[in-house]
Amino acid sequence: MLKKIFQEFRALRISLSLKFIIGSGIVLIIAMSLSSYFIAKKDRDLIIEQLDIQAKTLFSQIVLTRRWIADHGGVFVEKFPWKKASHYLSESELVDLKGKRYIKESPAMVTKQLSKYAREEGAYLFNITSLKLTNPENSPDEFEESALREFESGHAKDASKIEEIDSSLFYRYIAPLYVEDTCLSCHAHQGYNIGDVRGAISVSIPMNYALSMMQSEKRTMIIAGIATILILMIVLFFLMKELVLRPVKQLKSSMVDFSKGDTNKTAILRTGDELEDLSSSFVDMSKSLREYHNDLQDKVRTATRGFEEANDRLAELNEKKSDFIAKISHELRTPMTSIKGAMDYISARIPKITEQGRDREEILEFLGVLKNNADRLTHMVNETLDLERLESGMFDLHIDHVDLIALIKEVIISFQSLTDERNITFKIVAKPEIIVNADEDRIRQVLINLISNAINFCPDETEIEFEVTESEEKVQVIIKDKGPGIPVEVRDKIFDKFYTIGKRKGTGLGLAICKGIIEAHNGEIRVLDVPEEQGSAIAFTLKTKNGDELNE
The SS3 assignment for 468 reads strand
Angle between helices 440-457 and 510-520 (to 10 degrees): 140
Q: How confident is the model at residue 376 (pLDDT cuts 50, 70, 90)?
A: low
Q: How confident is the model at residue 90 (pLDDT cuts 50, 70, 90)?
A: low
Is the model's pLDDT at 9 over the cut of 60? Answer: no
366: enclosing H helix or E strand: helix 360-392
Q: DSSP assignment of 70-116, as one string?
A: HHTT-EEEEPPTT----TTSTT-EEE-TT--EEEEE-HHHHHHHHHH
What does the pLDDT read at residue 103?
75
DSSP code of 550?
A: P
Q: How confident is the model at residue 204 (pLDDT cuts 50, 70, 90)?
A: confident
Highest mean pLDDT among 75-79, 109-113, 237-241, 482-486: 482-486
Tens digit of each residue's pLDDT (9 = 90 or more) over 316-347: 766 656 655 655 565 566 666 666 766 676 66
Q: How confident is the model at residue 552 (pLDDT cuts 50, 70, 90)?
A: very low
Rounded Cα distance between 495 and 499, Å, is 7
What does the pLDDT read at residue 128?
85
Rounded Cα distance between 542 and 525, Å, is 10
* Least confident residue range of 76-80, 222-226, 268-272, 462-466: 268-272
Across the range 67-93, mean pLDDT stands at 72
Q: What is the largest CA-CA distance in the chain?
A: 193
**CB contact burial 184-196 (16+ within 10 A = b; e otherwise):** eebbeeeebeeee
Q: In the chain, what percentage of residues exceed pLDDT 70?
A: 70
What does the pLDDT read at residue 192?
66
How do the domains of the chain map onto residue ranges? Answer: 306-395, 396-543
Is the model's pLDDT at 188 over the cut of 60? Answer: no
Nearest alpha carbon to residue 170 among 202, 125, 207: 207
Q: Which residues pair with 173 in a beta bridge?
A: 160, 203
- Of residues 266 and 300, more confidence is placed in 300
Please identify, in words, the CATH class of the domain defined by 396-543.
alpha beta
Under 8 Å between Cβ of 527 and 501: no
Under 8 Å between Cβ of 157 and 200: no
* Least confident residue range of 135-144, 183-192, 206-215: 183-192
Is the model's pLDDT at 205 over the cut of 90? Answer: no
Nearest alpha carbon to residue 291 among 303, 302, 301, 299: 299
